[in-house]
Structure 1
């Protein structure tokens, strides 16, 4: 959303130098506001991308954990002494 300030419609009854300086100041403020608006849009876009990336990472971690658990379950069926302890795959002693 571009912001446009009313600058050139100031009374000509003002001192011409003062009016010119004031118009210049308004134009600087107008540009700064529009730059901030553009930066906010970019930040919102970056935030959305970061949130999507985080969701993808969480989903990937869930899939990985499920796959590791499936592997451990398959190996346990063949009496391989392995299990998950504190989130890590570890070898166990026979009979544990």
Structure 2
């Protein structure tokens, strides 16, 4: 794909009659657009890699949350005054006790 930016013929395509010049401008538009479509078709954008990374991160977050809940449950069994509130471990004793 060229690094040179090519402009699409847009307003010029509405002229009548639909002569050979119109056809050439339309064909030129498709020549400019085609490399971008090819790039999308071959997944050069790395969308699959991005999805895999997101899924991996989601799995790690789930493991972290599960482990944190297990720790809080164990400490609660030993009367440690903590709980998970809004995703954070907090002390459940009120001030002044």
Q: TM-score, normalised by structure 2?
A: 0.55
Greater relative CO (CA pairs within 8 A, separation 6+): 1
SS at match of 1:80: coil
> Larger radius of gyration, structure 1 or 2?
1
1:90 corresponds in structure 2 to 90
Count residues with an aligned counterpart.
73
Query: What are the superposed Cα offsets for residues 27-57 of structure 1, whole Å, 9 maximum, x if unpaired?
Result: x889756633542245456000011111111
- Report the aligned-residue RMSD: 3.1
Following TM superposition, the consecutive aligned residue runs of length 4 or more in structure 1 with deviations greater than 6 angstroms are 28-31
Gap regions ≥5 residues in structure 1: 1-27
CA distance in 1, matches of 2:84, 2:29: 61
- Judging by fraction of residues, say which structure has more helix: 1
Q: TM-score, normalised by structure 1?
A: 0.56
